[in-house]
Amino acid sequence: MGSIKDNFYRVVMHRWLFLPTVMRLGKFIFLLILIFQGYDSYSQIRTPRGSGMGRDEYFDLNEDTVSVPEEDDGKLQLDSAKNPYGPFTLYYIKAEDVKNSKDIHYRIDTTLGNFGKFEMLEIMNYEAQNLGNMATAIFELYPELPSTPGLRSGFTAYQPYIRTPYEQRFFNTKGPFTEVEVLFGGGNRNKVDIAFSRNVNERFNLGFNLFRIAADKNLGPVRRFDNQAVGIAYDINANFINKDSTYSFMTRIFRHSHKVAESGGVLNFLDGNTALQGLNDQSSISPALQGAGSNYRVANGYLLQTFRPTGILRFYHELEYNQERNTFTVEPSDGNLASGYFNDIYLDEENTYDRVFFTTLKNEAGLTGGTNRIFYRAFFKHRYLKIDSEQINGVATRNELFLGGYLSYDLNQRNKLSGTVEYLLGQTYNIDALLETDWIDAGFKRITYKPDYIFQKYLGNHRGWENNFDDVSADKLYGKLKIKLGEQLIAPYVSVNNYNNYVYYSADTLPAQFSESFQVLNAGLSLQFRVFKNIGIDLDGKYSIVSDNASEVYRVPDLFGNASIFYQNSLFQGSLLLRTGFSANYRSGFYAMAYDPAIQRYFIQNAYMSKDYIIADFFVNFQVDRWRFSLKLKHFNQGFINDGYYITPAYPLQGRVFDFGVSWLFFD
């Protein structure tokens, strides 16, 4: 066997630069065209990929959960007579499982169950607000509690688009593997996600991911390809395990840039006629702000190493560098600073250039191990934080020291009990407990955490404050009952969140702390029915209640629901799998959060109450061999009952458009 260097040269140079056949050359050129033309996709779904692999599994009620393959006999599974490599011969692992000594292998999703969800709102099941267009700032309607008790930057609007190290897929592919997902969307919305991975040898894998997402302005575009938002990301990743499995590492280098032209929404939005025009003819409407833009960048380097001196004892070391850079600018030539959009100007009467760097360096080391069912981890962690703002003219640093542990009892992959404890020495802490079984899920979380840095200290040309907020404390209790009746599923669920010293962005566009305790109750019901073998009905709805004393600090619709009805069948002797139907989202009227472009945060507003609204799509998805296709008429109900919908005050939702998406896999 040749050296790693020789094998790498042969794989990259021979198979990708000097492709021996015209077909491969054409495929490579086509991929390059997609990259440079900008037809790209959102990076990775934040939940685990699906499990169903065969065409006879498409009515599996668990097709959106991960699958742990059974132990094989060491023989290669043949996916076809021509090429021995395919979806069954590769798997990927995740860093968090490795940290916890869990040898879990995940299969790529080749089903139609979740295929066709290209936009972030769709991926999040519409449980969010955006600025009416793809790739714009996100606000989660039902946010999860923070995962760490330490200090965070607070630049959250574009974090759903960022692939974290724990979401990274580290492959073992045996042969070469390429995955491409493309959306050609109406309104000049497009995206492409390209993943390539190749084993250099049986123990060492190299890969990369490329991603671009772009959308033209829906308010007042002046030309074709007049972009409102462009997100570009790429990473290089590798994983290795030595021959006797006593040492392993997984690593990646990642960069993401998200550039947005900040429009400020519809000019004079609260005027009824203008608001109506903004729904019916978005392209002719005047935006409230021109010449303004934001740019959120993330650079991330990650390394996880494990050392196993004995059979059940393992040490690990995790190193992560992460830098967030957030910039907001306004071009002076457009006269925006004098137009009255910004009430306050602190630094420069003619030009705005606000920039903040938030850098963290995490070092974590610990002991991890386990048996067939019990897994444990104990760790020490150090975080070094550096905050650099040109406007404040100073660099602030902070050191955080943590102690923590993890314990899990896994009867199998679907039935387990786990808990995590993390303590920021002398300050805050996090306690998690989770029970997952075939018939019930339950969880508890108690956390005290630092308010976001941006809420504590910030100075820009239009926003500025210095606060000394108390630590926030929160509790969450969650339960879900899963009643399976053959192929039917009935799953009622409930969650209760309790907050104390909650920090929010007020109607005055200033951070504020609510000193009283309050609760948020979400009670819902999920239903999955399979009728006459080929018809599926999926329903999920929830009702939310916020304590009366917190109605001015926490906003969520009273009623929220998703529904889908579809027909699915295998046609032409199994050569084509079809799934077609309707999907819809409903949210009741409420005072939705407004958006502040100066710091890219959503804030409380009391001027506009959004109406009850349904967003409905018609879709036709089908699969041929390793190709999946999606045809979708989005928001087809626009104009049937209402002219449209302001998903965020002053920002109309994308109108009726046609989308075409395709995904395909290569194993050569």
For residue 76, the model assigns a pLDDT of 33
Query: C-alpha 25: how far from its chain's center?
Result: 33
Mean pLDDT, rounded, for 136-142: 97
**Other CB atoms closer than 10 Å to residue 75's CB: what's the count?**
6
Where does the pLDDT of residue 370 fall: very low under 50, low under 70, confident under 90, or very high at 90 and above?
confident
450 vs 15, higher pLDDT: 450
pLDDT digits (tens, 9 = 90+) for 272-288: 888 888 887 777 788 88
245: left (phi over 0), alpha (psi -120 to 50) or beta: left
Mean pLDDT, rounded, for 629-648: 92
Closest CA to 503 of 455, 547, 545: 455
> Domain for residue 603, yes or no?
no
For residue 335, the model assigns a pLDDT of 53
Contacts of 2 (CB under 8 A, 6+ apart): 10
For residue 114, the model assigns a pLDDT of 87
How much is the CA Rg of the chain, to the nearest whole Å? 25
Query: C-alpha 277: how far from its chain's center?
Result: 33
Closest CA to 115 of 622, 658, 666, 667: 622
State the maximum Cα–Cα separation within the chain, in Å, rounded to a whole number: 74
For residue 59, the model assigns a pLDDT of 26
Range of the domain at 294: 38-471
Helix/strand/coil for 147:
coil
> Domain for residue 62, yes or no?
yes
- Measure the CA–CA gap between 167 and 45, rounded to whole angstroms: 9
> Domain for residue 238, yes or no?
yes
Contacts of 320 (CB under 8 A, 6+ apart): 165, 300, 301, 302, 303, 360, 361, 362
**Other CB atoms closer than 10 Å to residue 278's CB: what's the count?**
28
The answer on pLDDT for 579 being more than 50 is yes
The answer on pLDDT for 28 being more than 80 is no
E runs forming strands in 12-66:
none
For residue 407, the model assigns a pLDDT of 97
Mean pLDDT, rounded, for 101-120: 92
Predicted TM-score (pTM) of the model is 0.86
Contacts of 422 (CB under 8 A, 6+ apart): 148, 149, 381, 402, 403, 404, 429, 430
Mean pLDDT, rounded, for 94-107: 94
Where does the pLDDT of residue 351 fall: very low under 50, low under 70, confident under 90, or very high at 90 and above?
confident
Among the residue ranges 41-55, 262-276, 449-463, 633-647, the one predicted with the least confidence is 41-55
Q: Look-up: residue for tokens 């962690």?
A: 381
- Measure the CA–CA gap between 291 and 575, rounded to whole angstroms: 52
Report residue 510 as tokens.
Answer: 């200033």
For residue 550, the model assigns a pLDDT of 94
For residue 268, the model assigns a pLDDT of 87
Contact by Cβ (8 Å): 502, 514? yes
Mean pLDDT, rounded, for 32-48: 35
Mean pLDDT, rounded, for 627-649: 92
CA dist list (Å): 497 to 144, 377, 422, 434, 562: 10, 28, 20, 16, 22
The answer on pLDDT for 118 being more than 80 is yes
> Domain for residue 523, yes or no?
no
The answer on pLDDT for 392 being more than 90 is no
For residue 490, the model assigns a pLDDT of 97
The answer on pLDDT for 581 being more than 60 is yes
* DSSP helix, strand, coil percent of the chain (3-state; round to 5): 10, 50, 40
pLDDT digits (tens, 9 = 90+) for 425-464: 999 999 999 999 999 999 999 999 999 999 999 999 999 9
pLDDT digits (tens, 9 = 90+) for 464-492: 999 999 999 999 999 999 999 988 999 99
Where does the pLDDT of residue 226 fall: very low under 50, low under 70, confident under 90, or very high at 90 and above?
confident
> Domain for residue 353, yes or no?
yes
Ordered DSSP codes for 347-385: S-SS-EEEEEEEEEEEEEEEEEEE-SSEEEEEEEEEEEE
Tell me how many domains the chain contains. 1
> Domain for residue 90, yes or no?
yes
Query: C-alpha 471: how far from its chain's center?
Result: 27
- Measure the CA–CA gap between 207 and 177, rounded to whole angstroms: 9
Length of the chain: 668
Quick one: CA dihedral 331, 332, 333, 334, positive or negative? Answer: positive
For residue 224, the model assigns a pLDDT of 78
Dihedrals phi, psi of 311, to nearest 5 degrees? -65, -40
Mean pLDDT, rounded, for 206-233: 91
The answer on pLDDT for 522 being more than 80 is yes
For residue 429, the model assigns a pLDDT of 97
The answer on pLDDT for 399 being more than 50 is yes
- Measure the CA–CA gap between 97 and 250, rounded to whole angstroms: 12
> Domain for residue 584, yes or no?
no
For residue 337, the model assigns a pLDDT of 59
> Domain for residue 563, yes or no?
no
Which residues are paired to 193 by β-bridges? 181, 211
Closest CA to 60 of 482, 619, 488, 623: 488
Where does the pLDDT of residue 570 fall: very low under 50, low under 70, confident under 90, or very high at 90 and above?
very high
pLDDT digits (tens, 9 = 90+) for 53-84: 222 222 222 233 333 333 333 333 334 446 67
- Measure the CA–CA gap between 253 and 165, rounded to whole angstroms: 10
231 vs 391, higher pLDDT: 231
User: Mean of the per-residue pLDDT values for the chain?
Assistant: 86
What sections of 378-469 are H helices per DSSP?
A: 453-456
E runs forming strands in 429-534:
429-436, 440-449, 457-459, 464-466, 472-481, 483-485, 488-500, 502-505, 511-514, 518-531
